[in-house]
A and B are shown apart, each in its own frame.
Chain A
Amino acid sequence: MTTFTVQTGLFFQRKMLESLRQPAWIVMGLTTPLLYLALFTPLLNSLAGGPGFPPGHVLDVFVPGVLVLIAFGAGMGAGWTVIWELDSGVIERLRVSPASRLALLLGTVVRDIVMFAVPAVVVLGVAAVAGFHAHLAGLVLLLVLLSLLTAACSAASSALGLSLRQIGSLAAVVTGVQLPLTLLSGILLPLSLGPPWLRVLGHLNPMYYAVAAARDLAAGTVGTAVVGAGFAVTAAAAALAIWWGTRAYSRAMA
């Protein structure tokens, strides 16, 4: 019996190879956020400085949101391959092996964190050239926070895939939650632009806290209550999702 760490490493290696064999996804993972920067920033330029818009360079407001989008996208893809692996019997075969179910889940989670971190660093580099004010300590913490968010999304996506077992159902659920989750977290446009009821709804969304903390961290303000809340909520969401995903892997399937 190999140790838990070795197993996680083996599963990570398997998943990483799977990603590297699909260069189209790697390219899209880089171009989509860059397109957001190139095409969406000009729209925000006209809003900046207006009522309700946070102070600072437009990119200072928008880049943290784009990073959250990358994290969300990198994580939510996990469920699709899970369903494919259910259909081809891969998961059944691995479930008969003595391998830890948590390691099985974490192999994918860690892969997704890598698939978040690489384009995130590229986007940060490009944005810095375009006028984004980078604060090193804040950015390191920001990447840690959003790695936790990626983990939460990845584990939840795997759990959803294992429970729903159908690509169509998973697509419906993911696209169904994507809009309210992203809109009500203030990723694209800050919620401070909206009426009070919208801001109240935002506070019910766990991703809202991650985005708010991400903006503070990007601005270089590290020790705020907003940052603390962001870490607390995101870490709790990640722990819950990992528990859910592990349970889904160990649960009996007819």
Chain B
Amino acid sequence: MTVPTGPWAVQVTGLRKSFGAGNAAVAAVRGMDLAVAEGEIFGLLGPNGAGKSTTLRILTTLLPADGGEAVIAGADVRRAPARVRARIGYVGQLGGADAGATGRENLLLTGRLYGLGRAAARARCAELLGVFDLSEQAGRPVRTYSGGQKRRLEIALGIMHRPRVLFLDEPTTGLDPQNRANLWELLRQLRAAGSTVVLTTHYLDEADHLCDRIAIIDHGAVIALGSPAELKQRYSGEAIAITPDVPAPSLPALALDLAGALAGDPPAAGAAPGAAWAVTGDGAIRLALADGSPGATEAMAAAFALLARRGVAVLAAGIARPSLDDVFLHETGRTLRDAGSPPGGARTDGAAGVSAAAAGVAA
């Protein structure tokens, strides 16, 4: 994939946003730089709390930034918010359809607010009801809609006025696989019709299959940017996943030993620092092999040898093709799943072990 050269639908430079004041201030976005080309489906991928939604809220004029610039479809978010609003569509996590009103009333009101005349709004409403397969439900209150129907209506509300850029915050969260696939198809159709789509997600497969380019976000900054293929290629080192038959609390210690074994113990002079590792939620140890470390087959053999010496049985093992999770793992020493889990509880041990290992990898 060639790197796009514009024209840009979204240009963000040095964006900053903190919540709270003084010493209690928490930086949600710290120096974000992004450029989304017209006609792209662009994904902001990252764990919960990474700053994706805050970024989206700044870009859609809902929140003022503390610093930095954001230009959407040619209009500056801070200086010309009204012009930005007229040119964008936004589908928030909450959806925002008026539950007491009918689907048709929701669409007509939205169309009129964005300046469509009565007849134009009616025509566009009928068109979208057809496209989104909602004609039958159009006269019923939204509170009677199924989850998929409600989501489709919310997307329709977001594009009623044919926005140049459509922002979606976690659009497929809570959708079943069928509705999710349908939504992906709809977004692809929008792109085909010339719209730019910017969405946040914490689903790897969504970023991988739907997005032309993605920015991986962690702690309020972009840590990797490119097409899914590019990113995976950049971290082309393969990964292996092993599920050992040990209790969950001892997984991090074992993972650390395995990572050490793969690096050669003691590491040969000048050798790569070995595998970044993570314990995934399903009890597997995932070892992403850095460039220069032994191949996956050798790594697997080394891992099995160590486990055999310890007398640990292996429940499952496999060579994993590089995924976006490996990209995130390489950059942060954590998996997206772990990063997204709330702090505290049994997972804290694992997270501590992971950061210790990440420090070791970096050393």
Q: Which of B101, B113, B141 counts the most chain A CB atoms within 10 A?
A: B113
B157 sits at the interface (CB 8 A): yes
A21→B96 contact, CB < 8 A: no
In the complex, chain A residues whose CB is within 8 Å of the CB of B289: none
> Does B96 contact A93, Cβ atoms closer than 8 Å?
yes
Q: Which residues in B have their C-beta under 8 angstroms from that of A10?
A: 109, 112-113
Residue B148, interface by CB 8 Å: no
Residues from chain A with a CB closer than 8 A to the CB of B113 are: 2, 7, 10, 94, 97-99
Flag if A1 contacts B115 (CB, 8 Å): yes
A96 to B92, CA, bound (A): 10
**Residues of chain B contacted by A2 (CB below 8 angstroms):** 112-113, 115
Closest residue of chain A to B63 (Cβ to Cβ) is A252
Q: A14-B101, A14-B109 are in contact. Are A87 and B94 (CB under 8 A)?
A: yes
Query: Interface on A for B, CB 8 Å cutoff?
Result: 1-2, 6-7, 10, 13-14, 17-18, 21, 85, 87-99, 252-254
Decide: B61 and A96 in contact? CB cutoff 8 A: yes
Q: Is the CB–CB distance between A96 and B60 below 8 Å?
A: yes
Q: Contact: A93 with B92, CB < 8 Å?
A: yes
Complex Cα–Cα for A16 and B78 (A): 34
Given contacts A1-B115, A252-B62, contact A88 B109 (CB under 8 A): no
CB distance from B130 to the nearest CB of A (A): 22
A88 CB contacts on chain B under 8 angstroms: 94-99
Instruction: Give bound CA distance, A2 to B60, whole Å.
Output: 20
Residue ID in chain A nearest B54 by CB atoms = A254
A127 to B141, CA, bound (A): 39
Q: How far is the CB of B115 from chain A (nearest CB, A)?
A: 5
Number of B interface residues in the complex (CB < 8 A): 30
Q: Which residues of A contact B60 (CB under 8 A)?
A: 96
- Chain B residue nearest to A91 (CB atoms) is B96
Instruction: Provide the residues of chain A in CB contact with B85, threshold 8 Å.
Output: 96-98
Sample of 15 more A-B contacts, CB < 8 Å, known A2-B113, A254-B63: A10-B113, A14-B98, A14-B105, A18-B100, A18-B101, A88-B99, A89-B92, A90-B98, A93-B90, A93-B92, A94-B113, A95-B62, A98-B113, A252-B64, A254-B19
Least distance between A52 CB and chain B CB atoms (Å)? 48
User: Within the assembled complex, what's the spacing in Å between the Cα atoms of A6 and B105?
Assistant: 16
Provide the residues of chain A in CB contact with B114, threshold 8 Å: 1, 97-98
Does B96 lie within 8 Å of A92, measured CB to CB? yes
B91 to chain A, nearest CB (A): 8
Supply 16 A–B pairs (Cβ within 8 Å), ascending by A: A2-B113, A14-B101, A17-B101, A18-B101, A85-B98, A87-B94, A89-B97, A91-B96, A92-B62, A93-B95, A93-B96, A93-B97, A97-B114, A98-B82, A98-B113, A98-B114
Closest 3 interchain pairs by CB?
A: A89-B94, A93-B96, A89-B96
Q: Whole-angstrom distance from the CB of A164 to the nearest CB of chain B?
A: 18
In the complex, which residues of chain A have a beta carbon less than 8 angstroms from the beta carbon of B71? none
Contacts of B63 in A (CB 8 A): 252-254
- The complex places the Cα of A151 from the Cα of B118 at a distance, in Å, of 29
- Give the docked Cα–Cα distance between A18 and B100 (Å): 7
Task: Give the CA-CA distance A99 to B63 in the complex, in Å.
Answer: 17
Q: Which residues of B pack against A, CB within 8 Å?
A: 19, 60-64, 82, 85-86, 88, 90, 92-101, 105, 109-110, 112-115, 141, 157
Bound CA–CA A252/B77 (angstroms) = 13
Cα of A89 to Cα of B168 in the assembled complex, Å = 13
B90 touches A96 (CB 8 A): yes
Give the residue name and chain of the A residue nearest to B99 (CB).
A88
Contact B94 A21 (CB under 8 A): no
- Distance of A47 Cα from B90 Cα, bound (Å): 61
In the bound complex, residues from chain A placing their C-beta under 8 Å from that of B62 are: 92, 95-96, 252-253
Given contacts A21-B100, A96-B85, contact A6 B112 (CB under 8 A): yes
Q: How far is the CA of A200 from the CA of B73 in the complex (A)?
A: 59
Q: Return the chain A residue nearest B82 by Cβ.
A: A98
CB distance from A50 to the nearest CB of B (A): 49
- Do residues B86 and A90 form an inter-chain contact, with CB atoms below 8 A? no
A89 nearest in chain B by CB position:
B94
How far, in Å, is B16 (CB) from chain A's closest CB? 15
Q: Nearest-CB distance from B152 to chain A (Å)?
A: 15
Report Cα–Cα, A97/B109, bound state, in Å. Answer: 11
For residue A17, which residues in chain B have a CB less than 8 angstroms away from its CB? 101, 105
B354 CB to nearest A CB, Å? 30
Name which residue of chain A comes closest to B115, CB basis: A1
Is A97 touching B110 in the complex (CB atoms < 8 A)?
yes
Closest residue on chain B to residue A2 by CB atoms: B115
For B86, the closest partner residue in chain A by CB is: A98
Cα separation A165 to B135 with both chains bound (whole Å)? 35
A94 to B99: give the CA distance in the assembly, Å. Answer: 14
In angstroms, Cα B94 to Cα A95, docked, is: 14
Question: Which residues of chain B come closer than 8 Å to A91, judged between CB atoms?
Answer: 96
A250 to chain B, nearest CB (A): 10
- Least Cβ–Cβ distance between B121 and chain A, in angstroms: 10
Give the docked Cα–Cα distance between A98 and B111 (Å).
Answer: 11
Q: How far is A95 from B99 in the complex, measured between Cα atoms in Å?
A: 17
Determine how close the nearest CB of chain A comes to the CB of B164; give it in whole angstroms.
Answer: 14
Q: Within the complex, what minimum Cβ distance (angstroms) separates A95 from chain B?
A: 6
Chain B neighbourhood of A21, CB < 8 A: 100, 141
Min C-beta distance of B66 to chain A, whole Å: 12
Residues of chain B within 8 A of A6, CB atoms compared: 112
CA of A99 to CA of B111, assembled, Å = 11
List of B residues within 8 angstroms of A90 by Cβ:
96-98
Pair B61/A92 contact, Cβ less than 8 Å: no
